[in-house]
Amino acid sequence: MVISVGDESLCKISSIKRCFIILLASPLIVGVLFFMLKTQIQVDVFHGVVKNEDIRNDQSYDVERTTSIIEISSTSQEILPPERGLSDEGSNVVDEEKKVITPANNTETTAVILLTYMRSGSSLTGDILQKSPDTFYIFEPLRSADFANREKKTVRYINGSYLLHGQYDLQHVYEETLYGWLTCDLSRVHAQSFFDIGFLPYAHNFHDYLRCIRGAKYGNLMTRNALYESKQFMDCLKELEQTCKSSKVKIVKTIRTHGAIAQSIFKSIPNSKILHLIRDPRATMESKRHRNVCHEGMTLCIAEHCDRVRKDSLVLQNLKSSEPNRISTVFYEDIASNPIVTAKDMYSFIGTNFTEKIASYVYNITLGMDTTGCKVCVQRWQNGKKAKSSETHIAAWKSGLPGTYINQTQVLCKDIIKNYGYEFYMAPPALKPSKSQQMLGRRKKAIRRRV
Ligand SMILES: *[C@@H]1O[C@H](CO)[C@@H](O)[C@H](O)[C@H]1NC(C)=O
Ligand SMILES: *[C@@H]1O[C@H](CO)[C@@H](O)[C@H](O)[C@H]1NC(C)=O
Ligand SMILES: *[C@@H]1O[C@H](CO)[C@@H](O)[C@H](O)[C@H]1NC(C)=O
Ligand SMILES: *[C@@H]1O[C@H](CO)[C@@H](O)[C@H](O)[C@H]1NC(C)=O
Ligand SMILES: *[C@@H]1O[C@H](CO)[C@@H](O)[C@H](O)[C@H]1NC(C)=O
Residue nearest atom 4 of ligand 3, based on CA coordinates = 353
Strands 135-139 and 100-101: unpaired
Q: Which atom of ligand 4 is nearest to the CA of 361?
A: 13
Is ligand 4 within 6 A of the CB of residue 370? Answer: yes
Determine the distance separating the centroid of ligand 2 and the alpha carbon of 40, expressed in angstroms. 34
pLDDT tops 80 at residue 356:
yes
Determine the distance separating the centroid of ligand 4 and the alpha carbon of 159, expressed in angstroms. 45
Query: How would residue 6 be classed by pLDDT, with cut points 50, 70 and 90?
Result: very low
Residue nearest atom 7 of ligand 3, based on CA coordinates = 353
pLDDT tops 70 at residue 168:
yes
Contact between 277 and 330 under an 8 Å Cβ cutoff? The reply is yes
Is ligand 2 within 6 A of the CB of residue 161? Answer: yes
pLDDT tops 80 at residue 67:
no
- pLDDT attached to residue 30: 53
Q: pTM of the full predicted structure?
A: 0.74
Residue among 393, 290, 273 nearest 332 (CA): 393
Cα 436 to Cα 451: distance, rounded to the nearest angstrom: 22
Cα 412 to Cα 423: distance, rounded to the nearest angstrom: 15
Give mean pLDDT, residues 77-92: 28
Q: Kindly give, in sequence order, each residue whose CB lies less than 8 Å from that of residue 97, ignoring residues fewer than 6 positions away.
A: none
Determine the distance separating the centroid of ligand 1 and the alpha carbon of 105, expressed in angstroms. 6
Mean pLDDT of the chain: 77
Cα 372 to Cα 379: distance, rounded to the nearest angstrom: 12
Contact between 253 and 125 under an 8 Å Cβ cutoff? The reply is yes
Contact between 268 and 111 under an 8 Å Cβ cutoff? The reply is no
Q: Which atom of ligand 5 is nearest to the CA of 402?
A: 13
Residue nearest atom 8 of ligand 2, based on CA coordinates = 161
Is ligand 4 within 6 A of the CB of residue 364? Answer: yes
- Ligand 5 binding pocket, CB closer than 6 Å: 403-404, 407, 426-427, 429-430
Q: Which atom of ligand 5 is nearest to the CA of 430?
A: 13
Residue nearest atom 8 of ligand 4, based on CA coordinates = 360
Q: Report how many helices (DSSP H) and strands (DSSP E) the chain contains, helices first.
A: 20, 9
Q: Which of 298, 410, 426 to mutate to test the pocket of ligand 5 (most atoms within 8 A of CB)?
A: 426
- pLDDT attached to residue 133: 95
Q: Which ligand is nearest to the CA of 93?
A: 1
pLDDT tops 90 at residue 303:
yes
pLDDT tops 60 at residue 427:
yes
- pLDDT attached to residue 230: 80
* Burial of 85 per CB tally in 10 Å (0-12, 13-18, 19+): exposed
Determine the distance separating the centroid of ligand 4 and the alpha carbon of 382, expressed in angstroms. 21
Contact between 233 and 227 under an 8 Å Cβ cutoff? The reply is yes
Determine the distance separating the centroid of ligand 2 and the alpha carbon of 179, expressed in angstroms. 14
DSSP state of 372: T
DSSP state of 79: P
Give mean pLDDT, residues 340-353: 97
Q: Which atom of ligand 3 is nearest to the CA of 352?
A: 1
Helix (H) or strand (E) holding 364: helix 356-365
Residue 278 to residues 102, 227, 272, 380: CA-CA distances in angstroms? 36, 40, 19, 22
- The tens digit of pLDDT for each residue in 191-250 reads 999 989 889 999 999 999 998 888 766 554 455 556 667 888 889 999 999 999 999 999
Query: How would residue 442 be classed by pLDDT, with cut points 50, 70 and 90?
Result: low
Cα 330 to Cα 342: distance, rounded to the nearest angstrom: 8
Residue nearest atom 5 of ligand 2, based on CA coordinates = 188
Q: Kindly give, in sequence order, each residue whose CB lies less than 8 Å from that of residue 165, ignoring residues fewer than 6 positions away.
A: 148, 149, 152, 153, 154, 155
pLDDT tops 70 at residue 82:
no
- The tens digit of pLDDT for each residue in 360-382 reads 999 999 998 887 778 877 776 67
Residue nearest atom 5 of ligand 4, based on CA coordinates = 370
